[in-house]
Structures are given as C-alpha cells and as structure tokens.
C-alpha cells in the first residue's frame, strides 16, 4: 500500500512532530522499508535539485539590464554553493537528515504546513520545503477539489472554449481563494493579494 501511495508516508515523514520515529513506533515493521523507500524515491525524482531564485522586477525603466543578469547569475551561484555546503555539513541529503531528527512539539495554533512555510525553515531546507508544502497542502478530503472541478465546467462554457488550461486553473484557484477569504478584491478595500484570513472582517 505505501509503495503505491508514497504521498501518505511522505506526509508523516515531513511532519516535524512525527517524522521517521512515528512510523517506526506505530506502523507494522514490514511496512517500514517500503514506506521510507517510496517517499525517498518521490523526493529524489521530483524535488532533489537546486531551486532557482526568481528576483522581482524593480521597474521597466531600470537601466543596465546586463548588470541585473549578472546579479541573478551571482545569486544562483551563491545558492548552489550554500546548498552544497549545507549538504556536506549534514553528511547526507535534506530528506534523510530531516526524517532522522527527533520530532519536535508544535505550538497548538501551528500546523505542519505553517511550520514549513516559515522563512527560517524554508531557508534551511530550500528544496525539502517545496516537497513538504506541496504534499501537506493536499486536502484531507476530496469534497472541495471535486467542487472546484465541477465549477470549472461552468467556467469553460461553449463561448469560452478558447481558454487555455492554465487560464482555467488560475481562474478556479483565485475563485477558491476569494470564497475562502484568503484574498480580498481591490473593490472591497483589498489589494488583490494573499493575506491573513483572520485579518479579514466579514465574509466575501
């Protein structure tokens, strides 16, 4: 089972309050190696590579384009050196290092996903944090994804058949964020960017 669904094992291994010790204590012993191998394979195939830095554009009128390109290349070089240094310091890759460490106790109001989204953690584990955020963002139930999927059919009605898949995905994503209160439109006093749901007064 764990070999066929590596995401479930990976979610437990990447939970800072569980990690490898949780599976070793709570799962049947014959499941251990299969779970670890499946999650490790997912890490190596999909996430174990250097993360590129995407610098924000300052202005269309900024001079010396070649200088910005040099700065970007320098940032990538620094990132590569830092990643290699961190890997050598740990003696093994990020995944094995993280899951082998002792579990920690999270604050009552902090979820594993929120822990991984913190700047300090993402800096310490630039590649592993991408994997953790992707996996821990998957809804525990399928009701909301199915609702979004059904809504996409109304978005892509017959007079909108030229919409690209990427455009439909963005429309449904923004619509979900609006319904859940993660963003507030500028017409209602917001700036159209993701924000803290607790800071929003009232429902959208």
pLDDT digits (tens, 9 = 90+) for 19-73: 999 999 999 999 999 999 999 999 999 998 765 544 344 333 334 444 455 456 5
For range 68-82, the mean pLDDT: 57
- What's the domain range around 106? 6-55+67-136
If pLDDT is split at 50, 70 and 90, which confidence band does 155 have?
A: confident
Do 160 and 103 lie in a common domain?
A: no
For range 126-146, the mean pLDDT: 80
Do 182 and 82 lie in a common domain?
A: no
Task: Pick the last residue of a domain from 82, 117, 136.
Answer: 136
Do 113 and 163 lie in a common domain?
A: no
Which is more confidently placed, 200 or 36? 36
Do 149 and 131 lie in a common domain?
A: no
For range 178-184, the mean pLDDT: 75
Q: Give the three-state DSSP class for 137.
A: coil
If pLDDT is split at 50, 70 and 90, which confidence band does 161 have?
A: confident
Q: Answer yes or no: is 168 within a domain.
A: yes
Residue with tokens 């709570």: 26
pLDDT digits (tens, 9 = 90+) for 104-125: 999 888 899 999 998 889 988 9
| Percentage of residues of the chain with pLDDT beyond 70 | 61
Q: Answer yes or no: is 60 within a domain.
A: no
pLDDT for the residue numbered 53: 42
Spatial separation of the C-alpha atoms in residues 175 and 183, rounded to whole Å: 10
Total tally of structural domains belonging to the chain: 2
Do 124 and 156 lie in a common domain?
A: no
Q: What is the mean pLDDT of the chain?
A: 75
Residue 187 confidence (pLDDT) above 90 = no
Residue with tokens 């920690």: 104
For residue 139, count other CB atoms closer than 10 A to its CB: 8
Q: What sign results for the dihedral spanned by CA atoms 73, 74, 75, 76? A: positive
Q: Answer yes or no: is 204 within a domain.
A: no
pLDDT for the residue numbered 148: 65
What does pTM read for this prediction?
0.55
The distance from CA 147 to its chain's CA centroid, rounded to whole angstroms, is 22
Do 75 and 172 lie in a common domain?
A: no
């Amino acid at each position: 089972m764990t070999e066929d669904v590596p995401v479930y094992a990976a979610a437990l291994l990447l939970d800072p309050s569980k990690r490898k010790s949780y599976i070793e204590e709570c799962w049947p012993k014959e499941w251990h190696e299969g779970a670890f191998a499946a999650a490790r394979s997912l890490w190596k195939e999909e996430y174990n590579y250097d993360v590129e830095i995407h610098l924000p554009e300052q202005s269309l009128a900024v001079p010396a384009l070649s200088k910005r390109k040099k700065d970007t290349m320098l940032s990538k070089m620094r990132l590569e050196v830092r990643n290699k240094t961190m890997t050598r310091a740990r003696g093994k890759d990020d995944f094995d290092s993280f899951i082998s460490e002792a579990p920690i106790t999270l604050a009552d109001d902090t979820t594993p996903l929120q822990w991984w989204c913190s700047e300090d953690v993402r800096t310490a584990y630039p590649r592993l944090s991408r994997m953790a955020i992707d996996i821990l963002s998957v809804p525990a139930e399928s009701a909301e994804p199915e609702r979004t999927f059904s809504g996409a059919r109304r978005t892509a009605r017959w007079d909108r058949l030229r919409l690209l898949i990427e455009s439909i995905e963005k429309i449904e994503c923004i619509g979900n964020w609006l319904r859940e209160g993660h963003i507030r439109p500028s017409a209602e006093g917001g700036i159209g960017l993701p924000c803290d749901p607790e800071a929003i007064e009232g429902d959208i």
